[in-house]
Structure 1
Amino acid sequence: MRVNSMRRAAVVVAGTALLSVSALTNTALADPAQGEYRQLVGVGSDTTQDVMNRHGSLSVDSNGIPDKQLIASYDATGSVNVKTRRSKCSLPRPNGSSAGITALVNDVAAGTKCIDFARSSRGPQDTTTTDLTFIPFAKDGVTYAVRKDSGLPKSLTKATLVKIYNCQTRKLNGITITPLIPQAGSGTRSFWLKQMGLVEGSLPSCVTDRAGAVQEHDGRALTGAGDIMPFSIPQFISQANAAKTKVEDRRGAAALGKLDGHVPVFNGVLNLKFPITRDVYNVVQTSRLGISSVKSAFVGKTSQVCVNGAKDSVRLYGFGKAANCGSTVLKGKS
């Protein structure tokens, strides 16, 4: 009788926890609540912040019971500082992949243990060491966005797009084009510049981030008829489905463009045949890969971000499946 009672109690606890997780789908997913501290702290990429917030809310322990204490994902924008631990650990909020990776590197160097992983929409830029491991968990795609009420074409070739960002094509349909890029520290910025054949520090004169005012994946930056900017396709999908994803709809008047005849969205998620795609990552200190919390969250196909429930979350937020989800092969210094 005692064993049966214990089993019934376990079922009640599990059911209650599951209801708590379900309730989260009715509230916005953002930073952990003030005063709530978890095992693994992540900062960085705007591109993956929402799906990682979702993963944090749906984490489970080794018995399959929901465990909200594993992953804490802090948004790229919000308050100036974030407090990630109960004592100390109040730090400037990193905005973007590179900013998150830099914050992680600095935290490791200082030994403060305020940050455990960085969300990143780019791979390593410096591979002179293996200090960091870039662990893929989903597939992203990037296209251009223009205002839906603009006369700029809603379908381009990549070759034309490259000419636009190299200031070789300055007008289309009689409209002067203003090529925008996201704020410094954005992984999408560095990824997009590479796709356009450009190098940070020597950008063509027509390319601008408007003194840092262009936040990645925020269509409200498209204020003029000639404005054009890169936009994560899953981020656009996620924002369009704000009623389900519980994220802020920042699309404004943005409309995604076709590229080389490929539509960016297919069956409600990223079109995996789209010409510009990339893996997105959680970046951790390589020496910590064997730590149980890190391993449980990110490492291997059975990790929290790769298992079946996580795949459903990835699809909900518009991303594609990463064939190499949980792989620890890709390493770098920054």
Structure 2
Amino acid sequence: MLRLAARAASALAVASALALTATTPALADPLVLPAATDIVGVGTGVTETLFTQFSTDYNAFLAASGDTTSARLFSWDSAGTPSQVITKAGATPIIRPDRTSAALSALNATTRSTLDFVRTTRVPNANDLPGDLFVAFAKDAVSWAAPAGGNAPQNLTTSDLSNIYNCRVTNWKQIDSALPDATIVPVLAGHLSVDRSGVTGAPMESSEFLLKAINYPPAGTDGPSDRSCVRVVERGEQGWDALLHDPNAIVPYSVGHYVGQVYGGHSRPGDDPVTLTVRGIDGIASVNTADRRISPPFANTSYGRWLFNVVRQADWSNTSTTNALHQVFGTTGWICRNPTAAAAIKSYGFLTLPVGACGSTRHA
């Protein structure tokens, strides 16, 4: 009863707090303020709708089993209003992180009284703190998308993509003489600047991944060539920007997120491919349209990627919190072993990991 009363009070508190700073609520943020002991995360937009579903399903699972004491699971979207959010009862307000790097900074600048995990689409790198523990849970892939009925072909090679984003190839006829005589419009998503030396700034995860996959040289390291042909949109995994309606536009795209949007029915305003369709690379289709999922041969190329949740190593190992985190994210936890979680992963377009791989951990 005390927990239920606390949640009712929390709901009133968050409503009051948000009313002071917002006019429009985010699309799928928690409907009540999570309790101080709940498991709360932020991070990449690629898996945020899946985690909204996880939250609903996991909390219902606990309720159905009569469990009124275990920590509930909640996830905040990467975009929306207010821009400053109170993530749980008693938390320090934070600016809503819109990508992995910003979310990790928030995780490392706070304690579990504010955040417990970060959604991410990338493996650890040398810039991550040793205390950031990456816990695997599913698999995705990154390809490129273009408007249906536009001038882009169904397949580009890695070399084609490198030449396009480095502005060495600027016309479709340079790819194939049978293609239209039209200027290619390469697009990236993120907080980016572009000039003759190339792209700088903070790309969204799928754009960052594709640039690494095609060995895009850092700005200023590719000699005197002009690499200013790249255009920029703020958000990834969407086709709403007018720039992406150009029949010659191409943009990096999470294949799993696309499958969830198109085949799983998990799209919403601003989170919808609109006319974009995901294409193949190096002769391998990215989507198995018959099975309505990521093509396993494509996922097994260098364009495949694992999906993780990042927790603090200290929280993961702490006996006062380990049960709550492991109960959700561990190798025998709900995400890795519950059939409802597996169904959600597939419905939202991603591939499940084998037993033992799901819930496995790694450091920078």
Normalised by the length of structure 1, the TM-score is 0.81
Gaps of 5+ in 1: 1-27
Give CA-to-partner distance per residue, 1:136-166, whole Å, 9 cap, x none: 1010011100111311212222221121112
Mean Cα deviation higher: 181-190 or 249-258: 181-190
User: Is the CA contact 1:180–1:214 (under 8 Å) kept in the aligned structure 2?
Assistant: no
**1:257 aligns to 2:279 (yes or no):** yes
Give CA-to-partner distance per residue, 1:10-43, whole Å, 9 cap, x none: xxxxxxxxxxxxxxxxxx9821104344711111
What's the counterpart of residue 77 of structure 2? 75
SS at match of 1:180: strand
Q: Counterpart of 2:360 in structure 1: which amino acid?
A: S
Report how far residue 256 of structure 1 moved: 1.1
**In structure 1, C-alpha distance between the alignment counterparts of 2:47 and 2:128, rounded to whole Å:** 26
What's the counterpart of residue 160 of structure 1? 160
What's the counterpart of residue 223 of structure 1? 245
Give CA-to-partner distance per residue, 1:172-213, whole Å, 9 cap, x none: 03221121111135222321221121255558322232xxx3
**In structure 2, C-alpha distance between the alignment counterparts of 1:66 and 1:76, rounded to whole Å:** 30
| CA 1:87–1:185: 2 relative to 1, 3 Å | farther
Report how far residue 214 of structure 1 moved: 2.9
Tell me which of 8, 31, 54 is aligned to 1:33: 31
Give CA-to-partner distance per residue, 1:106-128, whole Å, 9 cap, x none: 22xxx473111110011112267
Report how far residue 64 of structure 1 moved: 4.6
Seq. identity, %: 26
| CA 1:239–1:202: 2 relative to 1, 3 Å | farther
User: Is the CA contact 2:278–2:287 (under 8 Å) kept in the aligned structure 1?
Assistant: no
| CA 1:208–1:202: 2 relative to 1, 3 Å | farther
**1:93 aligns to 2:100 (yes or no):** no
Report how far residue 105 of structure 1 moved: 1.6
Report how far residue 258 of structure 1 moved: 1.8
**In structure 2, C-alpha distance between the alignment counterparts of 1:151 and 1:288, rounded to whole Å:** 51
**In structure 2, C-alpha distance between the alignment counterparts of 1:313 and 1:331, rounded to whole Å:** 27
Give CA-to-partner distance per residue, 1:213-252, whole Å, 9 cap, x none: 3301012231322211001111111111464x46555212
What's the counterpart of residue 331 of structure 1? 363
**1:207 aligns to 2:205 (yes or no):** no
User: Is the CA contact 2:204–2:236 (under 8 Å) kept in the aligned structure 1?
Assistant: yes
Normalised by the length of structure 2, the TM-score is 0.74
Tell me which of 334, 348, 359 is aligned to 1:304: 334
Tell me which of 273, 276, 279 is aligned to 2:297: 273
Mean Cα deviation higher: 200-209 or 134-143: 200-209
| CA 1:56–1:230: 2 relative to 1, 3 Å | same
What's the counterpart of residue 14 of structure 2? none
**In structure 2, C-alpha distance between the alignment counterparts of 1:261 and 1:253, rounded to whole Å:** 22
Q: Counterpart of 2:205 in structure 1: which amino acid?
A: G
Report how far residue 318 of structure 1 moved: 0.9
**In structure 2, C-alpha distance between the alignment counterparts of 1:84 and 1:201, rounded to whole Å:** 36
Q: Which has the higher contact order (CA 8 A, sep 6+)?
A: 1
**In structure 2, C-alpha distance between the alignment counterparts of 1:114 and 1:200, rounded to whole Å:** 35
**In structure 2, C-alpha distance between the alignment counterparts of 1:64 and 1:262, rounded to whole Å:** 45
Mean Cα deviation higher: 154-163 or 50-59: 154-163
Gaps of 5+ in 2: 1-25, 173-178, 191-201, 222-226
**1:58 aligns to 2:57 (yes or no):** yes
What's the RMSD between the two structures over aligned residues? 2.5
